[in-house]
Structures are given as C-alpha cells and as structure tokens.
Amino acid sequence: MTEQEKIIIEQKVKNALEQIRPYLQQDGGDVEYVDMTNEGVVMVRLQGHCGSCPHALMTLKQGIETAIKKAIPEVKCVERVA
C-alpha cells in the first residue's frame, strides 16, 4: 500500500476506535492506536481494566478486531502490544 493509502486507512482505524472506546470506558478500560503495518495489521494497546482483564483477548478479537475489519476491509487483523 502507498503511504497515502496507509494514512487514509489509519485515519479510518482511529475513527473506528473512537466508536468503540465508549463501550470499553464503561468497564474502566480503553484502547490506544499504536501503529499499522503495510500488510494491514493494526497494533493497539489495551489500557485500564482492559490491559489486565482475563477477557482481554476476547475483547480484542471479537470486539475491536471485528468492528474494525467490518468498517475497514483493508485491515487484516488487530494485534495487542504491551
């Protein structure tokens, strides 16, 4: 993907995260965009209760990743970073 395409997709990802954020914040958690690879892998940091919750992987894959991939088909997956 070109640098311009990456910038556009990154902005879409950030917008999608803003839509998800209130649901995470209701439970004392949050999510922070970190980076995106040229292959479409989005990296996020789970914060607050989401960072230490035993259900964090489920939240990441079934919640955050599903919502982002539905809104932005170019995204291949979402990975958690420390």
Q: Which two tokens stand for residue 14?
A: 């950030």
- Structural domain spans, the chain: 3-80
CATH 3.30.70.260 correct for 3-80: no
**68: number of CA atoms within 13 Å, CB side?**
32
Instruction: Report pLDDT digits (tens) over 34-57.
Output: 999 999 999 999 998 887 888 888
Helices (H) and strands (E) in the chain, counts: 4, 3
Residues in contact with 22: Cβ distance below 8 Å, sequence separation at least 6, in sequence order: none
pLDDT attached to residue 1 = 81
Query: Which residue, among 33, 66, 45, has the nearest Cα to 77 in the 3D structure?
Result: 66
Residue 3 corresponds to which amino acid? E
pTM, entire model: 0.89
